[in-house]
Structure 1
Amino acid sequence: MTHDPHDLTGAYALGALDDTETRRFERHMDGCTSCADEVRSFRETTARLALATARPAPVALHDHVFAEIAHTRQLPPRQQTRLPSFRVNSVAWALAAACLVVALALGVVAQRSADRADRIAAQSREITAVLTAPDAQMAPQETGPKGTMTVIASRSLNKAVVTTSHLAAVPAGKTYQLWFMGGGQPRSVTTMSPTARTESTSTIAPGLDGAQQVGVTIEPAGGSPQPTTNAILTFALT
């Protein structure tokens, strides 16, 4: 699925595109001054958003298949022998079934790629809207003993872009949980389970209304309806 590259300026500025998408967008941007200007306008803000580095995508099935073909030694020529008709039919059906499985798997890969492109484009539009909102606020990173947090919030859009980084991996059976706090009971935004201390996690968080703080707690796996521990990170909102 092809998307209008003008929709990807926010995702590009935030490093949310993979290598192929980045190269494609940069080729477009070389000849598009409006996209170049828009990306440039995001640089100062996005430089302070420690967005997660994209994980390498799994190797597509067809790449794996052809790689296996490339390094698998072929059998030497054999004397041709006419197979019984039932054997020929069995082989033909086996080959047809194998081709069908590969075709279906490649279709799944293509659909997943299209779905990912849809998510990136949608995320880019949401991030761009928050970054360019007239009332967007961004304070210095809040740093605690277990990580850092950066928030850009827009009251008019009722959402925020929240980035946490350098969180230690949680113990088995535990997860980090992000909350909007103040104006009543804390409201859960999402759960996060980083696997390495350098991993960052970014979230587009809706439902900002009434919140006075953003906080992170450590909760049982799956999250809790309300915080069960003190926040390890908090970020005041104005």
Structure 2
Amino acid sequence: MSENDDPALLGPGYALGILTPEESAAYEAYLASSAPARNESRANDETAALLGLDADAITPPARLKANLMAQLAVTPQLPSLQGPSPQTTDAATAADTPAPAATPVAPAATAVAGPVEAAAHRRWFAKPTTVLVAAAAAVLLFVGGAVVGGTLVPRPSVEQQQASALAQINSAPDAQRASAEVANGGRATLIWSGSLGTSALLIDGLGTLPHDKTYELWYIRGTKAVSAGTFNASADATSWRVLKGTMQAGDTVGVTVEPAGGSEQPTTQPIVAIRS
């Protein structure tokens, strides 16, 4: 790290554990002197954990890290947004039982090591879109990409679009979330923005299905169910998907097990249903 480098640009690399000891020390010193930097560092850590990208530690090629740092250097960083705290609730898991609407819960403060006391903890989903997109891009570059002849080859753009859409939902001023237990094990969290009309579902511990089955997402409105896409899952990682279509106020988001390729209407009872 040269004297002209901005330590703020080291944040995503620090969260991914790819910095040199010198860079880590410089970034930790920066964290100790800046409360906003500590908030951003926590946001980067939580974003990586949220996406379920806990991979075994590896040493990335020097050129790969250089490519990432070069992209981060030209990514504009916006000031932190001031807005209402997102809301957190638990919701019902049965499809035939009305789920309660989300109710606000104040986020808890998190202690941070260092000579300076941390400011109040801001949840990752309250960060500006630019910061979260940069963090998601960093994760995609290192975990979702491949290196061929020293050149970075990213994963298909649909996954980058999903990450960007998730970041936009998370950073919306009216972002909310609600959680519920999954019938066959695991826990689901619905994140949505009424102003954007979009939502995303994240599930921990969801089992892998046979090849002839798939998980299907639904927007449930009274007696009507509208398909919102299909996805596969791995019990070893967090499964997540930004739902297709437009979310309407009061929609319940449900997940069913369907034949491969999905169904026009649910053929099984939802394993989880969360009301927005």
Q: TM-score, normalised to structure 1's length? A: 0.55
1:160 maps to 199
1:110 matched to 2:112? The reply is no
Q: CA deviation at 1:221?
A: 1.1
Structure 2 gap segments, 5+ residues each:
1-6, 61-146
Deviations 1:153-197 (A, max 9, x none): 1111121231012222213411111222216742323322234x3
Are 2:242 and 1:204 equivalent residues in the alignment?
yes
What SS is found at the alignment partner of 2:151? helix
Structure 1 or 2: more helix by fraction: 1
Residues 19, 139 of structure 1: alpha-carbon distance in 2 compared, 3 angstrom cutoff: same
Show the counterpart of 1:180: 219
Q: Deviations over 1:181-225 (max 9, x none)?
A: 216742323322234x34320122353432611111111112122
Q: Aligned partners of 2:25, 2:241: CA distance in 1, in Å?
A: 28
Preserved contact between residue 179 and residue 187 of structure 1 (Cα < 8 Å): yes
Q: Does the 8 Å CA contact 1:7/1:121 hold for their aligned counterparts?
A: no
Q: Distance in 2 between matches of 1:125 and 1:8?
A: 20
Gaps of 5+ in 1: 61-104
1:135 is matched with: 174
**CA, structure 1 residues 190+18, in 2 after alignment: closer, same or farther (shift >3 Å)?**
farther
Would the alpha carbon gap of residues 18 and 184 (structure 1) be closer, same or farther in structure 2, given more than 3 Å must change? farther
CA contact (8 A) 2:18 2:59 kept: no
| Structural RMSD (CA) | 4.6
Identity %: 27
- Supply the distance in 1 between the matched residues of 2:223 and 2:167 (Cα, whole angstroms): 29
Which of residues 13, 18, 38 in structure 1 aligns to 2:40? 38
For 1:110, give the aligned amino acid: T
The answer (yes or no) to whether the contact 2:162–2:241 under 8 Å persists in 1 is no
Q: TM-score, normalised by structure 2?
A: 0.48
Cα separation, 1, equivalents of 2:183 and 2:204: 11
- Which of 1 and 2 has greater Rg? 1
Deviation at 1:136, TM superposition (A): 1.3
Superposition map of 1:50-199 within 5 A: 50-54=50-54, 106=148, 110-112=151-153, 115-116=154-155, 125-182=164-221, 185-195=224-234, 197-199=235-237
Amino acid at match of 1:164: I
State the partner residue of 2:269: 230
Letter in 2 for 1:148: R
